[in-house]
Amino acid sequence: MPKITRGAIYHAISRFFGVTLSPQHKSQLLKVIPQSVRTPDGKIAEPFVPHLALEIVKIFPGTGKTAEELVKELRNNDFVAQIDFKNLYQMLLNEGKVVLSAVKQRDLNARLLALQELIHDLGVNPDENRKIATRCLREALGYSGVRVYTLDLERGTWLHRFAEGEEGISRFVSPKVPAENSEKAFLSKLLQGEVSLEEIAQARAQGTYEWYQNGEWSYLYIPDRTRCPFVEYEQLVRDEKGDVKQERNGYGEGVAREILYLVFGKKGDKRVDVYLVNNWKTKKPLFSEKEQDIKLLRTFASALAQARNLAYAYHKLQDESVHDELTGVHNRRYFNRKINNEFIRAQRSNYPLSLLMLDIDHFKSINDTYGHQVGDLVLRKVAEVIKAIVRDKIDTVARYGGEEFAVILPMVNGGKGANASEIAERIRSEVEKIKIETFDFGVTISIGLASFPKNASNLAELIYKADQALYRAKENGRNRVEISS
């Protein structure tokens, strides 16, 4: 079956909505349907279709078409791939056939069986995927020790996630910049392109280290750490002879010298996953038949990289479906779901729930006078002020529509002098301090406050009362907080 092209998908969407696609439409569709959510045959992976449909319908308002109808249309055109990551196993087996002739049959069979479990279990949870990949490296590929880190390339920090088959306590239990003359620091330089190709080629020829990059994953192999100028010798001694502070007994002199770093992440990623792999515990070489073992390692890495990309795309789409793109706060869809859940919880647990409705004063005038770009900047700055004041991971900030925001305050009382009114007044006061560089105008905000059970007995009444209080704040001169009676 021929590969499905992006043009074919666009044509079907154009026909479905009954419109001719403009360059702007195609640009928007390219963003909504990135390459990472498409399978090798060009189809759209099933887990992403409902999210994509919701976003695509927004591009064509007024057509009367629904996301559910679009999903049905895509499926009818056979543009949807029923994928749950298990079909990656077949790709793995196909690559395994190349390796089969060079690797002992029983060894490869055992590895492929373990890899089957890996691919079967991979999902959209990054932490679970890291654990599954670690198990695969140990059980399928035969390595005794694995440490998993997240490397923040912007800050240069390493964060230890977990380890299996490794003794001792990591020095990177919180984000930390490694020593300048260390393997980790050198790996960061390799990923940033700060090491010349000539130096890399020379190191490979001399057997000092090997650096391999393949778009979405890379590896740094060091056969003997004592021969590398960038190795932190103090840590090498701790690895071999032990260290009380790190609760490490030591693996024995000359044992902890061969090491492999597997990196998962493509060019431009701000964060990548790094798997530190060794055989220190078993005292065996990492590669018994290096060429064949590397091929099998690449097979594993390719499958994990694709699963990682799909998981990332899934979470990105989920995040975009509940966040306002301009301000970064939650959108109206998320607010509706969240306020309903919080109200049910407040009723059941008999605790207060407060709601703030906020509206930027004279926003239309700002847009008309200074332009929409300045208006967008005001919206972002107001959102930043609100987020900085409310409680992280407890309160909810949402863009309710246009220049209007809403804040859900669980377990916060309303009324004059109560917590909710104090929070509202802080927001009003801080917004008043906003300065827009090169423009001479002030920003103010009007706020309406209502609380359950003080002002409302049901959810609809709570929202209505907060909205009415906001209306009074506007009527009474703006730049003020009004509390529902």
Q: Does residue 327 lie in a domain region?
A: no
Question: Are 339 and 198 in a shared domain?
Answer: no
Q: Does residue 136 lie in a domain region?
A: yes
Q: Does residue 194 lie in a domain region?
A: yes
Q: Does residue 456 lie in a domain region?
A: yes
- Give residue-wise pLDDT tens across range 358-411: 999 999 999 999 999 999 999 999 999 999 999 988 999 999 999 999 999 999
- Give residue-wise pLDDT tens across range 3-20: 899 999 999 999 999 999
Q: Does residue 142 lie in a domain region?
A: yes
Question: Are 336 and 453 in a shared domain?
Answer: yes
pLDDT score at 120:
56
Choose the catalytic residue: 216, 232, 258, 403. Answer: 403
Q: Does residue 395 lie in a domain region?
A: yes
Closest CA to 119 of 135, 106, 104: 135
Question: Are 340 and 457 in a shared domain?
Answer: yes
Name the average pLDDT for the chain.
85
Q: Does residue 326 lie in a domain region?
A: no
Number of neighbouring beta carbons within 10 Å of residue 476: 11
Question: Are 188 and 168 in a shared domain?
Answer: yes
Q: Does residue 261 lie in a domain region?
A: yes
Question: Are 173 and 212 in a shared domain?
Answer: yes
Report the C-alpha gap between 20 and 25 in whole angstroms: 9
**CATH code of the domain in which 438 resides:** 3.30.70.270
Question: Are 63 and 155 in a shared domain?
Answer: no
Q: Are strands 445-452 and 481-483 parallel, antiparallel or unpaired?
A: parallel
Question: Are 147 and 282 in a shared domain?
Answer: yes
Question: Are 202 and 309 in a shared domain?
Answer: yes
Question: Are 118 and 204 in a shared domain?
Answer: yes
pLDDT score at 117:
55
- Give residue-wise pLDDT tens across range 105-129: 445 555 555 555 555 565 567 788 8
- Mapping DSSP onto H, E and C, the string for 389-446 reads HCCCCCCEEEEEECCEEEEEEECCCCCCCCHHHHHHHHHHHHHCCCCCCCCCCCCCEE
- Give residue-wise pLDDT tens across range 33-67: 877 678 778 888 777 788 788 889 989 988 899 98
- Structural domain boundaries enclosing 49: 6-81
Question: Are 153 and 51 in a shared domain?
Answer: no
- Using the 3D structure, point to which of 37, 52, 81 is the last residue of a domain: 81
Question: Are 175 and 249 in a shared domain?
Answer: yes
Domains in the chain: how many in total? 3
Any catalytic annotation for residue 128?
no
Question: Are 397 and 248 in a shared domain?
Answer: no
Which of 99-108, 167-176, 430-439 comes out lowest in average pLDDT?
99-108
